[in-house]
Structure 1
Amino acid sequence: MRLTTKGLLLIAIPAVFELTLLSGIVKAQADAEDAQRWAQHSQNVLAQVALVLDPVLVNAVRLRGAVASNDTRFSTPPSTWTDADRRIDHLVELVADNPGQVERAGQIRTAVQGYRAWAGQIETLLHAGRRDDVLDRFRELSDYDVLDRVRAQVTAFQVEERRLDVLRTAAAEAARTRQRALIVIAVVGSIVLVVLLVSLFIRGVRGRLALLSDNAARLAGNEPLTPLVGGADEIAELDRTLHETSRRLIEADRMRVGYETDLARRAEQLARTNETLRQQTQENEMFVHSVSHDLRSPLVTLQGFSKELTHACADLRSLVAHSSLAPDARSRIERLINDDIAEALRYLQSAVLRASHIIDALLRLARVGRVEYRHQRVDVQELVQRVIDAMHATVRARRAHLVVGTLPAVWGDPTALEQVFANLIGNALNYLDPARNGHVEVGVRPASPGEPLRTFFVADNGLGIPHVALPRLFHAFQRMHGDIAPGEGIGLALVRRVVERHGGRVWVESAEGVGSTFYLTLPEMAAVVLTGADGDTVNNVSGTAQRPGPSDDDMRVGRE
C-alpha cells in the first residue's frame, strides 16, 4: 500500500468518526435550538394572555367608577372590544399548533363576550337613569361572576402554557446536555483514534525511513549504499531512486574523469594552436613588412627610370626639333614621343603610384593590431567637433547639413577613436547623393541600465550600399562606388579592427538610394576589459595594451 493511501486512511478514519459524531452534535444543537425556541414561544404566549385580560379589567374599573358617580353618559369605546378580539386572534395564531390551547383560547373569547354583554346591559340601564336596577345588579355580584369567569379561563390557559413551558425547558436542557456529551466524546474519541492510527503508521514506517535516511547520507558521502528497502510505496521508490542515482553518479564520475583528461588534452592542443596562430600572425606581419619594403625598391627604381625616360624624351624632342629630318619623318617621331611614349610613361607612373598606395595601406593594416593604445577618458563630443572642423571645406563643398547630438564620454585611445569617427563621417560626406540635399547625423542610442557599452551612430541620406555588398563591407580592399571618391578600400577594415580592440563592434544598416547608418559600440566605463581583434588585452588601470607596436599612420578615408 502506498504512503498516500495510508495517509488518506489515516485522515479518513478519524474524519468518518468525527463526521458521525458531528452529525449527532448538529442534531442535538438543532433540538436544543428548537426547544429554546419553544420555551421562548411559551413566554410570548403568556405575555399575550396577559394582554387579552387587560382591556377587560380596565373596562370593569371604568364601569364601576361610572356607576358610583351615576355617570349616565358613560359608554365603552368600541375599540376596547375590537382590541380585545384582535388580541385573542393573535393568541389563537400563537397556539395554532396546540389544539387544546386553541380550545381554551376560544373559551376565553366566550367569557369575554359574556362579560361584554353584561357590561352592555349595565351601560343601557345607566343611560336610562335606572340607577336602582344597576345597583341591584351589582348587589347580586353578577359582575364578579362574569369577570371571574374571564379570569378563570385565562388562569386555566396560563397554567397549561406554564406546564408546557416547563416541559420545553427541560427538553432544551436535555438537548444541551446531550450536545455537550457528544462534543466531549468527539474530542476525546478523535484524539484517541488519531493517536492509535499515528502509532500504527509510525511503527510501520519509522524503520524504513531510517534506512532511507542512512542511504541518503551514504549517497551524500559518496559511500556504497545498503540493500534496497522492501515494499511498494514511495519509500521503496525513493530508495530505488537513490540506488539509481548512486549508479549514475558513479558512471558520471567515471565520465568526468574521461572528460577532464580529454579537456586537458584539447586545452593543450588549443594552447599549441594559439601559439601557432600567434607565430603565424607575427610571420604574416613580418612578411607584409618585408614584402612592402622589398616592393618599394623596384617601385623606386621604376619611378626613377620613368623620370629619366621623361627627361630623355624631352631631350629627344629637342634634338628632333633641331634636326634636318624630313618634315614627315620629324612629325612621325614627334608623334611617337608626345603621344605613345608620353602616354606609356604616364600609365607607368600611375601604376607605380597606385602600387605605392597599396603598400602603404598594407603597412597600416598590419600595424593596427600592434599599435600601443593609451586608454583614457575621451570626450567624444569634443572629438567629433574637431573632426567636423577639419572637414569644413568638404562639408561646404558638399552643401551638407550636419547634426551632432549630445555624445557621452567613453574609455579609449583618443587618437584611434578620432580616426574612427573621421573615417565614418568622411565616408558619409563623400558618398552623399548629389541629386538631393545631404544630411549627416552623429548621435548615440539610449543606454540600457547596467550596460557598459554605448552605441554611437553616423547616419546619412547618401547613395546607400547594395544589400549583396554588406557581408564583405568591412573587408580590406573592398570598395563600393569606387569612381566617386579616392581610396584603397581599407578605411572600414581599420575602423572595425580599432573598435574591436576597444572591446566593441561595428555594423551597418543601409538601403541603396536611401542612405546608410553605421553603428559602433564603445566602453563607457574604465572597468571594462578591452580585447583587441588579434587577441591583445588592454589593462584599463594603466590604459596600455600589453603588446606594444609602432604608431598608426593617418587613416585614409574611403568606403570599402
Structure 2
Amino acid sequence: MRLTTKGLLLIAIPALFELTLLSGIVKAEADAEAAERWSQHSQEVLEQAGRVLEPVLIESVQLRGAVAAADTAFSTPVSTWVDIDQRIDRLAELVADNPAQVERAVQIRQAVQNYRQWSDRIQDLLHSGRNGELTDRFRLLTGSDVLDRVRAQITAFQTEERRLDVLRVTAAETARAQQQTLVMAAVVGSIVLVALAVWVFTRGVRGRLDTLSDNASRLAGNEPLAPLTSGNDEIARLDLTLHQISQRLIEAERLRVGFQADLARRADQLAQINENLRQQTQENEMFIHSVSHDLRAPLVNLQGFSRELDHACDDLRELVGRSSLSPEAREHVNRVVDEDIGVALRYLQTAVLRAAHIIDALLRLARVGRVEYRSQRVNVQELVQRVVDAMHGSIRARNATVSVRPLPAVWGDPTALEQVFANLVGNALNYLDPTRDGKVEVGTAPAPPGVASLQIFYVRDNGLGIPEVALPRLFQAFQRMHGNVAPGEGIGLALVRRMVERHGGRVWVESREGEGSTFYLSLPDALAVVPQAPGESDGALVVQDEGDGEDDSAGSGGDNGGDSGRDSGAAGEAREGFIPPSPLAEALRRAGGAIDRG
C-alpha cells in the first residue's frame, strides 16, 4: 500500500467522525434557531391578541359614557369595527399552522360580532330616547355581559399561546444543551482520533525515515550509502532514488574533470573569437566612415547642381516668355520645364536629403558604442520634466496632454537618459491618433519579485498603436511601422535599446493597434548601486572623433538624430533645440546656398 494511501485512510477516519458530529451540531443549531423563532412568534401572537381586545374595551367605555350622559348623538364609527375585523384576520394568519388556535380566533370573531349587535341595539334605543328600556337591558345583561365573553375568548386564546411559548422555550434550551454536548464530544473525539492516527502513522514509518535521512546525510557528505530499505511505498522509492543519485554523482565527477579541460580550451577559442569580433567591428566602423566620406561630396554636388538647375529653369521660363515662339510652343516648353524637369528635380532633392539622413543614421549607430558614459545619480523627475518642457510646442500643436507621475532617481549617464526619454516621449506625440484627444503618461511600474535593484519606467500613449506582427522587429534599425505619419530613418528605437542595454537595463513594448502603446525600460536603482571611487571614471560624456569630418561638439546629441520614433526612429521634437541639425544635411544646405549665390 502506498504511503499516501495509508495517510489518507488515517485522515479519513477522524474526518468521518468529525463530519458526523458536525452534522449533529448543525441540526441542533437549526432546531435551536427554529425554537427561538417560534418563541418570538408566540410573543407576536400575544401582542396581536391584545390589539384585538383594546379597541373593543375603548368602544365599551365610550358607549357606557354616552348612555350615562344620555348622549343621543353618540355613534360608533364603522371604521372601528373594520379595524377590529382586520386585526382578527391578522391574528388568524399568525396561528394558521395551529388549527386549535384558528378555531379560537373564529370564536373571538363571533364574540366580537355579538358585542357589536348588542352595541348597535343600545345605540338605537339611545337615539330614540327610550331610557327606560336602556336601563332594563343593562340590568338583564348583568349576568352574561357580551363584553365579558369577548374578554374570556381572548384570555383563553392568550393562555393557550403562552403554554405553547413555554414548550417552545424549553425546546430551544434543550437544543442548545444538545449542541454544547455535541461540540464538546467533537473536540474531545477529534483530539483522541488525531493522536491515535499520528501514533499509528509514525510507528510504521519512523525507523525507515531515520534510515532515509541517514542516507541523505551520507549522500551530502559523499560517503557510501546504507543498503536499500524494503517495501514498495514512497520511502522505498525515494531511498532507491538516493542510491541512483549517488551513482550518477560518481559518474558526473568523472565527466566534470573532462569538461573542465574542454572548457579551458573553449575559453581560449572564445577569447580569440572576441578579438576577431573587435577587429571586425573596428573595420565596420571604418567602412561606414569611409562610405560617408566618399558619398558626402557627390551628395553635396547633386544638391548644389539641382539648385542650379532650378535657377536655370527659371531663366529658361523668362527667355521663353520673351521669345517669339507661338503660344502653343511656349506652353509646351513651360509644361516640360514645370511638370517634367521640375518634378524630376524635386524627386532628386528629396532623394539626396533622404540619402544624407541615412548616412547620418549609420554614423550615429557606429558612434553609439564608442560613447563613454559618466555614471552618476540622475534625478529622473527633473530630467523628464525638462524633456516635456522642451517639447511644449509639439504638445500644444497636437492638442495633447502629458502627465508625469513621481519618478525615482536612477544610476546612469544623464545625457544618454535624456535622449532615451526624449525619443520615447517624442514617439508618443508623433503617433497620437488625430481623431481623439492625445494623452501621454510617464510613470513607474513595480519591479518583478527578486529584482529590487532595477526601476521600471513606462511611457504610455493612446495613439495609433503597433500591429502585433511588427512588434518582434520594432527595435531593429531602419524599421518603420507608420512611415507616412512622421519623418525619420528608423533608428531611434534601436539607439534607445543600445543606450538602455549599456546601462544594464532592458526595453520592451506592449501595444494594441488602434488603442495605444506602452514602452517599458528598466534602469539601475540609484540606491542599489555603489558609486565608483574617484578616478575610476574618465570624466564627462565624450564622443571619440576618428576623423570622419563631422562636428561632434554636440556630445552624444548626435545619437538621437530626430528620427521618427514609432518606426524605430527618434522623437521629431528633438529638432526643436534638443539635438543639433544633421552635419551632412547642414553641409548640403550650405553647398546649395553657395551655388545659388555663385
TM-score, with length taken from structure 2:
0.50
Instruction: Give the structure 2 partner of residue 337 of structure 1.
Output: 337
Q: 1:260 to 1:327 in 2, by over 3 A?
A: same
Indicate if the aligned counterparts of 1:539 and 1:546 stay in contact, CA closer than 8 A: no
RMSD of Structure 2 on Structure 1 (CA): 3.9
The residue type paired with residue 477 of structure 1 is: F
Please show how residues 516-531 of structure 1 align to structure 2 within 5 Å: 516-525=517-526, 528=529
Q: 1:527 to 1:408 in 2, by over 3 A?
A: closer
Q: Does 1:425 align with 2:425?
A: yes
Please show how residues 124-273 of structure 1 align to structure 2 within 5 Å: 252=252, 254-273=254-273
Which of 550, 557, 561 is residue 555 of structure 1 equivalent to?
561
Instruction: Give the structure 2 partner of residue 381 of structure 1.
Output: 381
* SS at structure 2 position matched to 1:478: coil
Q: Runs of 4+ in structure 1 displaced over 4 angstroms?
A: 231-234, 241-254, 447-450, 526-530, 537-541, 543-548
Q: Does 1:318 align with 2:318?
A: yes
Deviation string 1:150-172 (CA, Å, 9 cap, x unpaired) is: xxxxxxxxxxxxxxxxxxxxxxx
The residue type paired with residue 497 of structure 2 is: R
The residue type paired with residue 500 of structure 1 is: E
Deviation string 1:152-195 (CA, Å, 9 cap, x unpaired) is: xxxxxxxxxxxxxxxxxxxxxxxxxxxxxxxxxxxxxxxxxxxx
Tell me how far 1:267 sits from its aligned partner. Answer: 0.9
Please show how residues 388-407 of structure 1 align to structure 2 within 5 Å: 388-407=388-407
Indicate if the aligned counterparts of 1:529 and 1:539 stay in contact, CA closer than 8 A: no
Instruction: Give the structure 1 partner of residue 100 of structure 2.
Output: none
TM-score, with length taken from structure 1:
0.53
- Rounded Cα–Cα distance in structure 2 between residues aligned with 1:467 and 1:513: 11
Please tell me whether Structure 1 or Structure 2 has the larger radius of gyration of its CA atoms.
1
- Rounded Cα–Cα distance in structure 1 between residues aligned with 2:445 and 2:501: 19
* SS at structure 1 position matched to 2:511: strand
- Rounded Cα–Cα distance in structure 2 between residues aligned with 1:233 and 1:487: 74
Please show how residues 95-110 of structure 1 align to structure 2 within 5 Å: none
- Rounded Cα–Cα distance in structure 2 between residues aligned with 1:391 and 1:517: 19
Instruction: Give the structure 1 partner of residue 514 of structure 2.
Output: 513
Instruction: Give the structure 2 partner of residue 84 of structure 1.
Output: none
The residue type paired with residue 507 of structure 2 is: V
Instruction: Give the structure 2 partner of residue 489 of structure 1.
Output: 490
Q: Does 1:368 align with 2:368?
A: yes
Further displaced range: 314-323 or 391-400: 314-323
Q: Does 1:469 align with 2:470?
A: yes
Deviation string 1:384-438 (CA, Å, 9 cap, x unpaired) is: 1111111111111111122111101111111111111111111111111111111
- Rounded Cα–Cα distance in structure 1 between residues aligned with 2:301 and 2:430: 35
- Rounded Cα–Cα distance in structure 2 between residues aligned with 1:522 and 1:244: 46
Deviation string 1:320-370 (CA, Å, 9 cap, x unpaired) is: 222233333222222212221111111111110111111111111111111
Tell me how far 1:284 sits from its aligned partner. Answer: 1.5
Deviation string 1:67-120 (CA, Å, 9 cap, x unpaired) is: xxxxxxxxxxxxxxxxxxxxxxxxxxxxxxxxxxxxxxxxxxxxxxxxxxxxxx
Q: Does 1:411 align with 2:417?
A: no
Tell me how far 1:496 sits from its aligned partner. Answer: 0.7
Please show how residues 431-450 of structure 1 align to structure 2 within 5 Å: 431-447=431-447
- Rounded Cα–Cα distance in structure 2 between residues aligned with 1:494 and 1:293: 22
Indicate if the aligned counterparts of 1:538 and 1:546 stay in contact, CA closer than 8 A: no
Q: 1:318 to 1:245 in 2, by over 3 A?
A: closer
Q: Which has the higher contact order (CA 8 A, sep 6+)?
A: 2
* SS at structure 1 position matched to 2:324: coil
Q: Does 1:284 align with 2:284?
A: yes
* SS at structure 1 position matched to 2:522: strand
Further displaced range: 395-404 or 412-421: 395-404
Which of 537, 547, 553 is residue 542 of structure 1 equivalent to?
537
- Rounded Cα–Cα distance in structure 1 between residues aligned with 2:377 and 2:509: 26
- Rounded Cα–Cα distance in structure 2 between residues aligned with 1:512 and 1:246: 56
- Rounded Cα–Cα distance in structure 1 between residues aligned with 2:533 and 2:285: 21
* SS at structure 2 position matched to 1:522: strand
The residue type paired with residue 302 of structure 2 is: L
Deviation string 1:11-56 (CA, Å, 9 cap, x unpaired) is: xxxxxxxxxxxxxxxxxxxxxxxxxxxxxxxxxxxxxxxxxxxxxx
Indicate if the aligned counterparts of 1:400 and 1:439 stay in contact, CA closer than 8 A: yes
The residue type paired with residue 360 of structure 1 is: D
- Rounded Cα–Cα distance in structure 1 between residues aligned with 2:250 and 2:541: 45
- Rounded Cα–Cα distance in structure 1 between residues aligned with 2:407 and 2:261: 51
The residue type paired with residue 522 of structure 2 is: T
Unaligned runs of 5+ in 1: 1-215, 235-240, 531-536
Tell me how far 1:305 sits from its aligned partner. Answer: 1.8
- Rounded Cα–Cα distance in structure 2 between residues aligned with 1:549 and 1:522: 25
- Rounded Cα–Cα distance in structure 2 between residues aligned with 1:242 and 1:498: 49
The residue type paired with residue 301 of structure 1 is: N
Q: 1:363 to 1:491 in 2, by over 3 A?
A: same
The residue type paired with residue 355 of structure 1 is: A
Tell me how far 1:263 sits from its aligned partner. Answer: 0.9
- Rounded Cα–Cα distance in structure 2 between residues aligned with 1:529 and 1:540: 15
Q: 1:220 to 1:362 in 2, by over 3 A?
A: closer
- Rounded Cα–Cα distance in structure 2 between residues aligned with 1:540 and 1:444: 33
Indicate if the aligned counterparts of 1:410 and 1:522 stay in contact, CA closer than 8 A: yes
Indicate if the aligned counterparts of 1:405 and 1:444 stay in contact, CA closer than 8 A: yes
Indicate if the aligned counterparts of 1:460 and 1:517 stay in contact, CA closer than 8 A: yes
- Rounded Cα–Cα distance in structure 2 between residues aligned with 1:539 and 1:296: 42
Indicate if the aligned counterparts of 1:467 and 1:512 stay in contact, CA closer than 8 A: yes
Indicate if the aligned counterparts of 2:374 and 2:541 stay in contact, CA closer than 8 A: no
Instruction: Give the structure 2 partner of residue 185 of structure 1.
Output: none
Unaligned runs of 5+ in 2: 1-217, 231-240, 546-554, 568-598
Indicate if the aligned counterparts of 1:426 and 1:557 stay in contact, CA closer than 8 A: no
- Rounded Cα–Cα distance in structure 2 between residues aligned with 1:243 and 1:405: 59
Provide the aligned length of Structure 1 versus Structure 2: 330
Q: 1:461 to 1:220 in 2, by over 3 A?
A: closer
Tell me how far 1:292 sits from its aligned partner. Answer: 1.8
Deviation string 1:118-154 (CA, Å, 9 cap, x unpaired) is: xxxxxxxxxxxxxxxxxxxxxxxxxxxxxxxxxxxxx
Indicate if the aligned counterparts of 1:527 and 1:540 stay in contact, CA closer than 8 A: no
- Rounded Cα–Cα distance in structure 1 between residues aligned with 2:477 and 2:442: 25
Please show how residues 23-34 of structure 1 align to structure 2 within 5 Å: none
- Rounded Cα–Cα distance in structure 2 between residues aligned with 1:259 and 1:539: 42
The residue type paired with residue 326 of structure 2 is: A
Deviation string 1:439-460 (CA, Å, 9 cap, x unpaired) is: 1111012356761110000111
Indicate if the aligned counterparts of 1:381 and 1:408 stay in contact, CA closer than 8 A: yes
Indicate if the aligned counterparts of 1:462 and 1:513 stay in contact, CA closer than 8 A: yes
Indicate if the aligned counterparts of 2:367 and 2:543 stay in contact, CA closer than 8 A: no
